[in-house]
Amino acid sequence: MGSGQNIPIAGISLAGVTFVALLSLGTDVVIALAVLTVWVGSLLVAAGRPPEPPKAKIKQRLSLDSIRDLIEDTSTPLIITERNTIAIANRAARRVLGPHIIGQDARVGLRQPEAISLLGGKSHGEAIVRGLVRRGDIWQINRQMIDDRLAMLEFINQTAEADISRAHTDFVANASHELRTPLAAILGYVETLQEGEGKLDTPTAQKFLGIIEREAQRLHALVSDLMSLSRVEAEKHDLPTERIDLASLVERAARDAAGPNRIERLTLDIADEPVVLGDLQQLEQVVRNLVDNALKYGAPDTPVAVTLDLAQGDLARIAVEDQGEGIAPEQIPHLTRRFYRTDPGRSRASGGTGLGLAIVKHIVERHRGRLDITSEVGKGTRVVVRIPLAEPDPQAVSPPPDADSEAPNQPETEQLS
């Protein structure tokens, strides 16, 4: 029986009494039992009722209060419009567009032709809007209809992606230009030598060959720096783990960068012997690049000072200072950009690739360090690299096994970290 069926207790009881009465009057048992069966069966059939049909689900309209609670804390800027009037803007949207937009017509609040065209439709859609918040920013606006009166606008900031794409395009263009310049010189002088058919005098030929060699070396340096930069960027999320004695590294790399022709201009001041976790080749490249730049762009016959000491007790500090012409303050923030040069002609003449400081910056970032550049026009430039010290080596500070047990333990001088 269905759960909704009522059992007729009174009727069944009456049928039972009638069955007993028939038996007492001498009625045949089969007849009495048949009467009882028919009676009870008819009662049960009459009492049964068909199951109630399922109730139709009525779709309730979303309330603005429930939507507001749902989207308020999301990190993506979201706006709910009611017939193109901004009814709700979550916290992220208010931070981007301002709290005053609530209650405005969305077409007036956004003020962009692409956004207005999107709002004019009756269905889902998307639009790319430039300069929505600040000049040059790029936003993608997605519109989703909730019902016939409400719609949701989702704002996705694509400025960073566009900047990365533009930086990649600029890098390829600059690299192509830098590679093409020495190649054009090499090809031009080679063609001149070939066309001379041995008629060029020896001094002229030697001059052309010297230019070809210089441009080929410049091309080789450029390719090497591009490969170095690519490697550093590929490994920038991998923390170095090798323990390195920075004092010997700085002295060796600085002398290598100076070479025998410029070593007399180099002054070294190794005040401490810090140990850091790093990549040996990359840290040597940092020192070589900084010293080479200082020797190139410092005033001729003036010293370049290289100092290694501790900063704030837990940082190794490498400082390279020249006595050159200095750099204008407005140019300093751009020095670590790829191919940026304060004096392009002088840089190319000295063999610079425009990638040295960009490589230094990425290596320092990989080592979780800091790069600072200060300069004063007419006096010189100072570049400082700070790298965190390594934790003390447990094996270096543990007492020897045969130490005198009666003598008090003398703590070893630990390297600050």
Residue with tokens 């063609």: 191
pLDDT at 410: 44
Average confidence score pLDDT of the chain: 82
Decide: pTM greater than 0.85: no
Is residue 368 within 8 A of residue 388, CB to CB? The reply is yes
pLDDT at 394: 65
pLDDT at 347: 62
Q: How confident is the model at residue 154 (pLDDT cuts 50, 70, 90)?
A: very high
Percent of the chain predicted with pLDDT > 70: 85
pLDDT: which is higher, 17 or 302: 302
Distances (CA, A) of 250 to 151, 177, 363, 385: 63, 34, 15, 12
Strand ranges of the sheet holding 85-89, from the earlier edge strand across to the other edge: 85-89, 78-82, 150-157, 138-145, 125-130
Q: Token digits for 202?
A: 């020896």
Q: How confident is the model at residue 397 (pLDDT cuts 50, 70, 90)?
A: low
Residue 380, number of CB atoms within 10 A of its CB: 22
Q: Is 390 exposed, middle or buried (0-12, 13-18, 19+ CB in 10 A)?
A: buried
pLDDT at 373: 94
pLDDT at 35: 79
Alpha carbon 67 to chain centroid distance?
31
Which has the minimum average pLDDT: 124-128, 260-264, 358-362?
A: 124-128
**Can 177 be counted among the known catalytic residues?**
yes
pLDDT at 295: 92
Output the CA angle 87-89-93, nearest 5 degrees.
Answer: 150
> CA-CA-CA-CA torsion for 130, 133, 138, 140, nearest 10 degrees?
-90
Residue 119, number of CB atoms within 10 A of its CB: 19
pLDDT: which is higher, 76 or 56: 76
Question: 250 in the Ramachandran plot: left (φ > 0), alpha (ψ -120 to 50) or beta?
Answer: alpha
Is residue 359 within 8 A of residue 289, CB to CB? The reply is yes
pLDDT at 370: 93
Q: How confident is the model at residue 408 (pLDDT cuts 50, 70, 90)?
A: very low
- Per-residue pLDDT, averaged over 228-242, amounts to 83
Is residue 47 within 8 A of residue 5, CB to CB? The reply is yes
The model's pLDDT over 175-226, given as tens digits with 9 standing for 90+, comes to 777 788 788 888 887 887 777 666 666 788 788 888 888 888 888 888 888 8
The residue annotated as part of the active site, out of 124, 168, 177, 220, is 177
Q: What is the rounded CA–CA span in Å between residue 133 and residue 107?
A: 15
The model's pLDDT over 336-376, given as tens digits with 9 standing for 90+, comes to 988 887 776 666 666 667 888 999 999 999 999 999 999 99
pLDDT at 278: 93
The model's pLDDT over 271-323, given as tens digits with 9 standing for 90+, comes to 889 999 999 999 999 999 999 999 988 888 899 999 999 988 789 999 999 99
Residue 348, number of CB atoms within 10 A of its CB: 17
pLDDT at 48: 67
> CA-CA-CA-CA torsion for 312, 318, 323, 327, nearest 10 degrees?
-80
State the distance between the two ends of the chain, measured CA to CA, in whole angstroms.
82
pLDDT: which is higher, 397 or 250: 250
- Using the predicted structure, report yes or no on whether residue 382 has a pLDDT greater than 60: yes
pLDDT at 62: 66
pLDDT at 90: 93
Q: Token digits for 213?
A: 């060699």
pLDDT at 363: 93
Q: What is the rounded CA–CA span in Å between residue 281 and residue 289?
A: 12
Percent of the chain predicted with pLDDT > 90: 30
Q: What is the rounded CA–CA span in Å between residue 81 and residue 149?
A: 8
